[in-house]
Amino acid sequence: MKFIPQLKALVWKDFISEFRTKEMILFMCLFSFLVLMIFNFAFDVSINANRGMTAGLLWVAFVFSGLTGLGRTFSVERDRGTFQGLILSPVSPWTIFLAKLISVFVFTTFMEIITLFIFSILYNTTIFPFLVPLGLIVFLGTLGFTAIGTIFSAISATTRARDILLSILFFPISVPVIIASVKATGIILNGMPFTTVFPWLRILVGFDMIFLLVSYLTFEFITEE
């Protein structure tokens, strides 16, 4: 089963190249920090009055910042000229996809943790009582949008206007993930019982599974020339 060692190698490659410069993580965290700050001026976000809005704020920060990272996963390969090498190597396209997904997912999750931390400071609120359910929702939601983001990053990496095309492709498809994540997060932060989140969790899990399956079936067509 060469799959696991190949996967580990590819993921490790991305980790190492990121740790050298730390560029992507730094920019992602900086950007989400900016988003949190701008929102304070754009909307009068009085935390205790409207918890639903803070859920939206969090996910806007996560998604917009995540997109900058997603845009880079495949475009750096194109820019460095390593994409061809990746395709020509005896690794299945699905393994390449999964490796990219894992690395982007880890970086994005790291950014999200930092964002949550900054959020709790800027808005004087604590999220510790909600850590576990919040963690589950953030995990499922992030998995969803990074999965589709990775597919569309691969699609748009070959074009000139790659970041704009990525956003245009990404947002209509990500609507279910964003709705479900924001609603579920809002419910959790409002302290309501966990069972009320179940319908949204079902949507998130369904979305994740469906799009992982679709990417498995179609990714080879994206990489072939």
Partner 1 sequence: MKRLQTLSIAFQVLTYVVMLFALYAIFLYAPVEKTMGVIQKIFYIHVPSAFLAYLAFLVTFIASILYLIRRETRWDTVAHCSVEIGVVFCTIVLITGPIWAKPIWNVWWTWDPRLTTTLILWFTYVAYLTLRRSVKENRRANLSAVFGIIGFINVPITFFSIRLWRTIHPVVITGQGLNMSRPMKFTLMWTMVAFCFLFFALLVSRIQIERLKLFIEEVTDIMEDMISKNSERN
**Which residues contact partner 1 (rule: CB under 8 A)?**
148, 151, 155-156, 158-161, 165, 168-169, 171-173, 175-176, 179-180, 183, 199-200, 203, 206-207, 210-211, 214, 218, 221-222, 224-225
Token couple for 85: 């090498």
User: Least separation, in Å, of the C-beta of 161 and partner 1?
Assistant: 6
- The C-alpha atoms of residue 21 and residue 24 are separated, in whole angstroms, by 8
User: Least separation, in Å, of the C-beta of 220 and partner 1?
Assistant: 9
- The C-alpha atoms of residue 31 and residue 25 are separated, in whole angstroms, by 10
User: Least separation, in Å, of the C-beta of 63 and partner 1?
Assistant: 15
**91 in helix, strand or coil?**
coil
Identify which of residues 132 and 161 has a Cβ nearer to partner 1 in the complex. 161
- The C-alpha atoms of residue 100 and residue 45 are separated, in whole angstroms, by 36
Identify which of residues 129 and 206 has a Cβ nearer to partner 1 in the complex. 206
User: Least separation, in Å, of the C-beta of 73 and partner 1?
Assistant: 16
Identify which of residues 5 and 81 has a Cβ nearer to partner 1 in the complex. 81
